[in-house]
Amino acid sequence: MNRQEDRLRDALRGYAARIAASHTVPPASGVWLRAERRRRRLAIERAERPLRIMQALGLVCAMIAAGWLLIQAGSVHPLPSFGTVVLVSTFASLLLVVAGCWAMVLASRRSL
Amino acid sequence: MFITEAEFQRIYDANAGPILGYLAASTGRRDVADDMLQETFCRLLVQAKSGMEACDVRRYLFRIATNLLRDRWRSGEGRAFDEPDETGATTDLDASIDVRAMLEHLSPRERQLLWLAYVEGMDHAEIAAATGLGRLSVRTLLFRARGRARKFLSAGEELR
């Protein structure tokens, strides 16, 4: 059993030596450049993420505001009174803007 | 802080050969092994921080390489050994044992485990860390792989 195991080990190591002799590893500089390019791309993606979040939030806020304006225009009326709607919308917008800013600050601190 | 270029050169010189051997033996294809080797070191550079211990780096690299191999097999591209052997001259030992045929005969997981155990000389804990398997699983799977490889070797000897 041990003989067979030694045989297996020798066979595999012999095969590894043949691979090492016939396969040349690519230069490290090429791999370094490839990694640099990827790092840069990831950094850009990280930097752009908060902006995308803000864009999405802005879109949501705009849609809410547009809906509210339509309601106020008088086409549809059986909805909450003016005061409540304004209060809720303002609060929600404020919350979203603060959350977006907070996410952006955190992301920019992480990338430093 | 990320790994510096000089530090990377040192890590690459020390580990590129063994990782390439592992990938070439596992995939049976030189082009795929080359590409996966570059991807392995790329991921190390993007993710790892400076000042890692040499043995940690080695384990980490084998882990990345193993994950890449697994992804390849899962995506269905893992038809191993589809290229003829180009490893050149044979030794006396290899003349009696067709290692390549034996590796082809084994499952991808078995090939990995045998390679890490016998070529890289890793113990069960190190193999577990490199492959993401549990220690007990490594022990069981390695035992089975050894058994299958031994059977193959015995058959080869009988033929001789």
Could you write out the DSSP letters of every residue in chain A?
A: -HHHHHHHHHHHHHHHHHHHHHPPPPPHHHHHHHHHHHHHHHHHHHHHHHHHHHHHHHHHHHHHHHHHHHHHTTS--SS--HHHHHHHHHHHHHHHHHHHHHHHHHHHHHT-
Which residue range is the domain that position B42 belongs to? 1-80
Give how many domains chain B has, as a whole number.
2
A58-87 pLDDT, tens digit per residue, is 777 877 876 777 777 666 555 556 677 777
Residue that terminates a domain, selected from B49, B80, B111: B80
Phi then psi dihedrals of residue B134, to 5 deg: -80, 160
Q: Which residues of B touch A18 (CB under 8 A)?
A: 87-91, 94
Please indicate, yes or no, if residue B6 is contained in any of the structural domains.
yes
Please indicate, yes or no, if residue B99 is contained in any of the structural domains.
yes
B111, B156: one domain: yes
CA distances from B118 to A23, A45, B62, B127 (A): 20, 42, 15, 11
pLDDT at B12: 92
In chain A, which residue's Cα lies nearest the Cα of B157? Answer: A4
Identity of the residue numbered B7: E
Residue that terminates a domain, selected from B80, B110, B126: B80
Please indicate, yes or no, if residue B47 is contained in any of the structural domains.
yes
Q: Is the CB of A8 less than 8 angstroms away from the CB of B37?
A: no
pLDDT at B61: 92
Domain residues of chain A, as ranges? 2-110
B71, B110: one domain: no
Residue that terminates a domain, selected from B21, B49, B80: B80
* A33 touching B (Cβ < 8 Å): no
pLDDT at B96: 44
Identity of the residue numbered B107: S
pLDDT at B95: 44
B91, B105, B114, B151: which to substitute to probe chain A, counting the most A Cβ within 10 Å? Answer: B91
Q: Is the CB of A34 less than 8 angstroms away from the CB of B42?
A: yes
B50, B76: one domain: yes
Interface size, chain A vs chain B, as Cβ–Cβ contacts under 8 Å: 104
B76, B139: one domain: no
Which helix (DSSP H) or strand (DSSP E) does residue B45 occupy?
Answer: helix B30-47
Average pLDDT per 10 consecutive residues for chain A, totaling 112 residues: 78 86 86 89 88 80 74 62 72 74 67 50
Q: What tens-digit pLDDT sequence spans chain B (160 residues)? A: 577 888 889 999 999 999 999 998 888 888 889 999 999 999 998 887 666 777 788 889 999 999 999 988 888 765 555 544 554 444 444 444 578 888 888 888 899 999 999 999 999 999 998 888 899 999 999 999 988 888 887 766 665 5
- Give CA–CA dist A19/B8, Å, rounded: 23
